[in-house]
Structure 1
Amino acid sequence: MENGGTTQEIVKVTYKTGDYAGEVVDRDERRILVKILSVLKHPTQGDLHHPYDPDVPLFHERRALAYTEKVWIPRQGVEPYRGEVIAYADSLKRALGAEIEQIDRLNRWSARCLEQLDTLRKDYGY
């Protein structure tokens, strides 16, 4: 990507369970500073040590990084990104929608499981 005669290095990074496309701004021997341009995957909600458990003492809310927010990422967590960099607002809307759809699918799966288990419970005579 060209910008005023300089080449932008676009990368994919994961930060606190979210995936992003961003521009490399700076680097040192251990880390790379990335300016966020697009949200690829919205961060996961809840306690990562107890997935799918709503009854934890602290149910984490994780917001997506903001447009042009800069974040230091360990070098091993940065990879080249060759996909389309979608406008931030559109990418956030897509990523949030995908996360909601995944949770909805999990809710529907749970409901079907409960129906099946209720049938089995009756079959077992309990």
Structure 2
Amino acid sequence: MSFQIGDRVIAEYKTGVYYGEVVEMSSSMKAAVRILAVKDHPTQGDLHNPMDPSVAFFHQRRALSHQEIALMPIATIRPYAGEVPDYQVSLKRALLAQIDKLSDMEAWARRSLQELDQLSKEYFPPSN
């Protein structure tokens, strides 16, 4: 796909997704994108060991800043024609969505552990 300077885009950078504007085509493979808003907050932790809280270095990933320019592979960029939300509003919404998702996973894991505990008791009843 070909982009022009000034095109509005949705772009993925590392594990975050952003609304942005193309400011430079550095090559046929990469474009410099100015961050206008946050669509999806970056994922926390070690990407090579997902869902493992016990890794040697648990990465804290911040969202890219408003107006920050990041060099992104063209393959991670797609056109965007909608309205771009306010940066602060989008950052808060993305952060809360990530927190809600993880809270739901935590609740699901607790409930799953309860069910597995019950199954364990059924599978392996105590001997009399």
Q: What is the TM-score with the length of structure 1 in the denominator?
A: 0.90
Instruction: For 2:83 and 2:104, locate their aligned partners in 1 and report how far apart those are by CA, in whole Å.
Output: 27
Alignment of 1:23-38 (within 5 A): 23-29=21-27, 30-38=29-37
Deviations 1:12-50 (CA, angstroms, capped at 9, x unpaired)? 110010000101111122311110000000000001111
Segments of 4+ moved more than 4 angstroms: none
Partner amino acid, structure 1, of 2:94 = A
Instruction: For 2:81 and 2:104, locate their aligned partners in 1 and report how far apart those are by CA, in whole Å.
Output: 30
Identity %: 47
Partner amino acid, structure 2, of 1:70 = I
Partner amino acid, structure 2, of 1:28 = S
Residue 22 of structure 1 is aligned with which of 5, 20, 23?
20
Q: What is the TM-score with the length of structure 2 in the denominator?
A: 0.89
Aligned residue for 1:8, secondary structure, equals coil
**RMSD (Å) for aligned C-alpha atoms:** 1.3
Residue matched to 2:50: 51
Instruction: For 1:98 and 1:83, locate their aligned partners in 2 and report how far apart those are by CA, in whole Å.
Output: 20
Alignment of 1:92-111 (within 5 A): 92-111=91-110
In structure 2, stretches of 5+ residues that fail to align are: none
Instruction: For 1:97 and 1:83, locate their aligned partners in 2 and report how far apart those are by CA, in whole Å.
Output: 22
Residue matched to 1:3: none
